[in-house]
Structure 1
Amino acid sequence: MDRTPLDLTQDAALLTAQLVDFPSESGAETPLADAIETALRTLPHLTVDRYGNNVVARTHLGRAERVILAGHIDTVPIADNVPSRLDAEGVLWGCGTCDMKSGVAVQLRLAQSVPEPNRDLTFVFYDNEEVAAHLNGLGHVAEAHPDWLRGDFAVLLEPSDQQVEGGCQGTLRVLLRTKGERAHSARAWMGSNAIHAAAPILARLAAYEPRYPVIDGLEYREGLNAVRVEGGVAGNVIPDVCTVTVNFRYAPDRTADDAVAHVREVFADCGVEEFVVDDHSGAAMPGLSHPAAVDFIKAVGGTPQPKYGWTDVSRFSALGVPAVNYGPGNPHLAHKRDERVETAKIWACEERLRAWLTS
């Protein structure tokens, strides 16, 4: 476990490796947050604040525009993929290389090496992004210190393979419960099987046809899926409760209330006796027509893509700050045991952002 102080002057790929070697699974980010705060406090052009394991650093140059560069410092559980490993082809392997310590490394390099940007900058490093929404550190900062997050435009350095990704899907998790009556399985006619009662729910899911709406020229793909089924008491008991956990990934043209109403409607006649919203994070519109977004896309190049998944672009959108996803790393490699990132893409991302902030 690396506890060497972070060296923000080193190559971004080497800095990524050092960040990976600070294990920081969700809920255990303190050592890494300490290291980031300590390193940033050595930079005289930044004001550094901390709230919990969330670190915010800002310039105060009086520029006409303020841009926020944000990234989470936690990872999913380590899967025998720490410490990091750099292979002969220039690929860096390890937990968090893609999601999203390479993006965090780019943030830190820019914080150190761009003391007089053409826009005022806010750097946000936050915890608990990979877990339930109520634990999310960016949300905690927004509630306690909303002034720290004021800005005109935000870039979330989530892995996007250096493509601008607009908006994000909403994610809704619902518990659908059916109920019955317990009985001895030898006398099943004396009870009512709650698992059997869940069959209409599963049939409705299997037949569900998702929408593919086009918003601001980007096609989003919705999905409604069972992600867990729980029921049963013992091998000789007719179960009296069954819970089907359903995840709805929805396009940003739906509000949070619309999403809940839609799921209720889908299962309205399926014998659901309890409908419980277990977790919910709203979607964000692309916002690519905003002048700051137009300038950003022109600067970094590429063709904007929709974001398949939820990111904290949604939180910035709720704060009135237009935001996009843009970072190194292939998002399809996030959370995998063989998670990895090409070092060339880390360098390229850093240089494109540096050019945008200094031209």
Structure 2
Amino acid sequence: MNRLIRIMTADSALVPLAAILMGLVLGALVMLVGGYNPLTAYWALLTKVFGSRYNLGETIREIIPLMLTGLAVAFAFRTGLFNIGGEGQFMIGATFATLVGVKLTGLPWILHAPLATLVGALLGGVWGGIAGYLKAKRGVNEVITTIMLNWIALYLSSYIVENFMLQPGQQRSLPIQASASLSIGWLSALFDNARLHWGIVLAPLAAVAFYFLLWKTRQGYELRAVGHNAEAARYAGMNVNRNIVKAMFIGGVFAGLAGVFEVLGVFHYQVKAASSPGYGFDGIAVALLGMNHPLGVVLAACLFGMLTYGSTGMSFAADVPPEIIRVVIGSVIFFVAAQGIVRIVLAPLRRKGKGTANGNT
């Protein structure tokens, strides 16, 4: 009986792990068809990630925004909403953090950096809250509004950069003040000048806050109750509309923080972008792979960060073209999203495990 319980508990972890393995196998088959050696390619990926302290540090740097945008999507999913707007919330957070970092002068670091971080995070939350408000008050589907808000954020960000802080002769903003930087000099030096910043501390803390808020507070209970059954929650006296807005706002804060760390900790300026950076959309895959649980999101972000940064090693060392590399990453995402296929493949193993467990009961 105890063995059966362990098997059932491990099932939630087995499915995403199997999805990752199946995605990597499919990617290997595609590489074989294309005339490339998948073993060499995957070894090159691992060598790129773990081959030097600099590359390891840059991999960690790549993981941080994926972790935060994954949390933004997962938080909404846990409350019965679909936050497809992580991309726009990311850009709004980055843009307004840059604005504070460029325009405010004369402040000490202890005030300037937290202020820029707070403004970016809150504005990202407001951007998510707009979709929550339209859902709660007007019944507008949040998938539609968040997608539309992504485009508005892209053009609004470019407008702000061009009209308020454009560096002459460049397609980017003026550099932020040194007092607004979130870089950690001694940590970067430890990793051979990799672009590490305070996100390495605050992103895991955001995952802890996610867990604590949803499962250890009354407010979290209300948010989850609204997500499970809005009508039942309303009958129980909960303010459904307010919780919808609140859930989208909190998700937006996570995504906004991702944008904040990219500009204040990595680049120190904001680009006048013609397209979105993609972290918000990758966050959807991270949330799916992490089963919308904060620990799962952290682990999934680590995997996607390794695949994203290590893919350059596959390109240079194994001569695998970028298109095939994206197929490998896309294959993992496909099997994560299509978990019904994974469960069908795992069904014979699961039946065998349950049969063994019954035999030992």
Scaled to the shorter chain, the TM-score interval is: under 0.3
Please identify which structure carries the higher strand content: 1
Query: So what's the TM-score if we normalise by structure 1?
Result: 0.21
Larger Rg: 1
Query: So what's the TM-score if we normalise by structure 2?
Result: 0.21
Please identify which structure carries the higher helix content: 2
